[in-house]
């Protein structure tokens, strides 16, 4: 035991001597840092952040394609194209997709926290991107395959693919944000901006595909090909980024934990980390965690499962009704509002020290659920609830308010949580908050089936 203490003391002295020598050298010979030429690293991190969410968003935005694939095939071609009533598979598909996406995403967000012990970040980034490309390629091929005779089997394949894409996406997101943490703040911001703008980009690309294509199959094929091109570009941009001196410099020059008794940064045996009490942290953050749960369960209880059923007040033969209403009024409005809410969350400091008010604001958002349920869901079979909101512009305004409050609340919670815990507890508290987020997504996806029965 004394020998071990002596070795530890010697290592500590060596670390201090090394740090002193490094500081002296830095004063005499200024360190020359490589430059990010043409902002290529900045752009690459933007694309990588965007890629982590895009697979699910591409699936989600392809509503016209999915509705065609799961239409009532017992009708003849003319009737199936012009029929105003929806099949059961069409009505429930988005709820199935939401559930199949929420569960693996939430689980693997937590799994990724422990994955670094066994799998390096480099392998995780490469494998997840290749996995996303392969699964998305399979989905693109299925666009051209006639699945009318085996719709239920195709549904299972689609949901398994969606689950795999979300599991891989959650690992990629967690890993990329861990890697970009070694870089200056503007690169972290670039990654975050890529993540937040993915919804707007995917919706605009869907609208573009609808405009250029001649039918649901052509739209789906064009849209999925664009997605495949983006994912391939993201993979090659990472391979290129990895070879740059700028990238190598910041990855190798990790910040040294001066409180550790070891010089090796990969050894995380800090006395502070060992002293963290999970129950104590949970007691501090439970109002914020509950707020996160309520925010996401309220949002994903109706979006997208219920919102995709809302129809335009325009005549059914118009292109606005058939093509663009869902993409513009529902998905584009939600993406713009969510991104705007995230930007507004930087002004959430007025909520510091007011957990009761934070919880009240998240509970207040539940009012959106009954309002959305009485929107223009006119072709739902055995409709029970009355329809009070039919105007397209009122619905679009409702979606903006709904999504802005969503984006503001969840972003503000991540801003507030470091203010209520000690510095050594911040990493664990953020992980706990992410767990509440995941459970909220799962609860919302399950509740969407209940809301469908109320319609």
* pLDDT averaged per 10 residues, the chain (length 455): 47 47 49 76 86 87 90 62 67 88 84 73 89 94 92 93 91 79 77 81 89 87 91 90 84 50 37 63 87 93 90 87 88 90 84 90 95 88 86 95 92 82 72 81 90 89
Asked whether residue 291 falls in the same domain as residue 426, the answer is: yes
Residue 375: strand pairing partners: 389
Asked whether residue 168 falls in the same domain as residue 21, the answer is: no
**3-state SS record for 285-326:** HHHHHHHHHHHHHHHHHHCCCCHHHCCCCCCCCCHHHHHHHH
Q: Which residues contact 45 (CB under 8 A, 6 or more apart)?
A: 176, 180, 183, 187, 190, 191, 194, 241
DSSP-derived 3-state class of residue 76: coil
Has residue 324 been placed in a domain? yes
Longest dimension (CA), the chain: 87
Residue located via tokens 């203010």: 419
Q: What is the CA radius of gyration of the chain?
A: 25
- The reply to whether omega before 298 is within 30° of 0 (cis) is no
Asked whether residue 109 falls in the same domain as residue 166, the answer is: yes
Has residue 288 been placed in a domain? yes
Asked whether residue 47 falls in the same domain as residue 193, the answer is: yes
Cα 447 to Cα 329: distance, rounded to the nearest angstrom = 23
The whole-number pLDDT of residue 225 equals 92
Has residue 263 been placed in a domain? no
CB neighbours (10 Å) of residue 412?
26
CATH number at residue 310: 1.20.1250
pTM across the whole model: 0.77
Has residue 141 been placed in a domain? yes
Asked whether residue 26 falls in the same domain as residue 93, the answer is: no
The domain total for the chain is 3
DSSP annotation of 35 reads: P
Asked whether residue 312 falls in the same domain as residue 389, the answer is: yes
End-to-end Cα, the chain, rounded Å: 70
Q: Which of 225, 255, 285 is the last residue of a domain?
A: 255
The whole-number pLDDT of residue 113 equals 66
Residue 389: strand pairing partners: 375
Asked whether residue 246 falls in the same domain as residue 335, the answer is: no
Domain around 53: 40-255
Has residue 262 been placed in a domain? no
- Residue 27's Cβ-side half-sphere holds a number of Cα atoms within 13 Å equal to 5
Burial class for 218, CB neighbours closer than 10 Å (0-12, 13-18, 19+) = middle
The whole-number pLDDT of residue 85 equals 63
Asked whether residue 314 falls in the same domain as residue 244, the answer is: no
Asked whether residue 138 falls in the same domain as residue 77, the answer is: yes
Has residue 264 been placed in a domain? no
The whole-number pLDDT of residue 253 equals 61
Has residue 267 been placed in a domain? no
Asked whether residue 1 falls in the same domain as residue 52, the answer is: no
| Conformation bin of residue 106: beta by default, left when phi > 0, alpha when psi is -120 to 50 | alpha
Burial class for 149, CB neighbours closer than 10 Å (0-12, 13-18, 19+) = exposed
DSSP-derived 3-state class of residue 455: coil
DSSP-derived 3-state class of residue 375: strand
The whole-number pLDDT of residue 118 equals 81
CB neighbours (10 Å) of residue 88?
10
The whole-number pLDDT of residue 136 equals 92
Asked whether residue 175 falls in the same domain as residue 316, the answer is: no
Of 230, 233, 242, the residue nearest 58 (C-alpha): 230
CA distances (Å), origin 331, targets 50, 99, 396, 399: 17, 18, 10, 9
Long-range contacts of 256-260 (CB under 8 A, 24+ apart): 256/15, 256/19, 258/19
The whole-number pLDDT of residue 11 equals 46
CB neighbours (10 Å) of residue 111?
14
Asked whether residue 298 falls in the same domain as residue 414, the answer is: yes
Of 205, 235, 76, 246, the residue nearest 148 (C-alpha): 76
Cα 140 to Cα 152: distance, rounded to the nearest angstrom = 18
Has residue 260 been placed in a domain? no
CATH number at residue 147: 1.20.1250.20
The whole-number pLDDT of residue 362 equals 94
User: What token pair was written down for 4?
Assistant: 């071990």
């Amino acid at each position: 035991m004394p020998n071990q203490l002596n070795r530890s003391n010697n290592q500590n002295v060596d670390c201090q001597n090394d740090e002193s020598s490094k500081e002296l050298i830095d004063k005499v010979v200024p360190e020359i840092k490589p430059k990010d030429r043409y902002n290529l690293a900045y752009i690459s991190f933007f694309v990588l952040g965007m890629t982590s969410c895009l697979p699910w968003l591409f699936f989600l935005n392809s509503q016209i394609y999915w509705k065609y694939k799961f239409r009532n095939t017992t009708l003849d071609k003319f009737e199936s194209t012009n029929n105003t009533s929806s099949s059961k598979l069409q009505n429930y598909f988005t709820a199935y997709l939401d559930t199949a996406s929420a569960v693996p995403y939430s689980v693997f967000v937590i799994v990724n926290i422990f994955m670094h012990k066994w799998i390096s970040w480099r392998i995780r980034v490469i494998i997840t991107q290749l996995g996303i490309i392969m699964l998305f390629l399979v989905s693109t091929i299925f666009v051209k395959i006639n699945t009318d005779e085996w719709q239920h089997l195709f549904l299972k394949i689609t949901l398994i693919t969606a689950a795999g894409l979300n599991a891989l996406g959650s690992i990629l997101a967690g890993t990329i944000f861990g890697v970009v943490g070694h870089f200056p703040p503007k690169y972290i911001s670039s990654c975050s901006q890529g993540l937040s703008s993915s919804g707007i980009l995917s919706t605009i690309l869907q609208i573009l595909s609808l405009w250029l294509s001649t039918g649901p199959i052509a739209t789906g094929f064009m849209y999925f090909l664009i997605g495949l091109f983006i994912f391939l570009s993201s993979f090659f941009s990472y391979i290129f980024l990895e070879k740059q001196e700028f990238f190598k410099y910041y990855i190798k020059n990790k910040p040294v934990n001066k409180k550790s008794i070891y010089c090796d940064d990969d050894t995380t045996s800090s006395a502070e980390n060992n002293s963290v009490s999970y129950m104590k942290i949970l007691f501090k953050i439970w109002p914020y965690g509950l707020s996160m749960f309520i925010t996401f369960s309220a949002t994903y209880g109706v979006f997208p499962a219920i919102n995709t059923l809302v129809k335009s007040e325009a005549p059914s033969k118009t292109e606005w009704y058939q093509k663009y209403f869902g993409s513009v009024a529902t998905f584009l409005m939600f993406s713009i509002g969510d991104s705007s809410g995230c930007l507004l969350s930087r002004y959430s400091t007025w909520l510091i020290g007011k957990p009761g008010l934070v919880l009240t604001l998240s509970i207040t958002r539940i009012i959106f659920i009954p309002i959305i349920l009485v929107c223009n869901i006119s072709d739902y079979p055995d409709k029970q609830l009355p329809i009070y909101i039919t105007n397209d512009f009122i619905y679009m305004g409702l979606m903006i308010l709904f999504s802005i409050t969503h984006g503001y609340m969840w972003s503000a919670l991540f801003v507030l949580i470091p203010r209520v815990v000690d510095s050594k507890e911040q990493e664990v508290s953020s992980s706990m908050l992410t767990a509440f987020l995941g459970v909220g997504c799962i609860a919302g996806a399950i509740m969407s089936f209940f809301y469908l029965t109320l319609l």
